Amino acid sequence: MSGGLFGVGSGEIILILLIILIVMGPERLPQIARIWGQALRFISKFSNTWNQMNTQLMRQIDEQAKPVTDALLLDE
């Protein structure tokens, strides 16, 4: 299976939502949706921050490694 949210297809998402609706009841659905939205926003922001930090760290590592790599290539 490919695509979807976290590798979960649209059919599975619908099934999960139906189970939540049955277990929690329709009166709590707006509250659950709000919490779910907040959690997804948090995860998205965390993921973006993580990717930015990772990219910055890799640039710094490349900058530090370049003189060593250049020196090794000159020795050959």
pLDDT at 6: 67
Residue 8's beta-bridge partner residues? 5
Assign 3-class secondary structure to 9-47: CHHHHHHHHHHHHHHHCHHHHHHHHHHHHHHHHHHHHHH
pTM: 0.56
pLDDT digits (tens, 9 = 90+) for 1-46: 455 556 778 888 889 888 988 888 888 888 988 998 999 899 999 9
Q: Give residue limits of the domains in the chain.
A: 28-75
Bridge partners (DSSP) listed for residue 26? none
Q: Band of the pLDDT at 64, cuts 50, 70, 90?
A: very high
The confidence score (pLDDT) of residue 3 equals 56
Two tokens at 70? 């250049």
In this prediction, residue 76 carries a pLDDT of 62
CA dist 74 and 59 (Å) reads 22
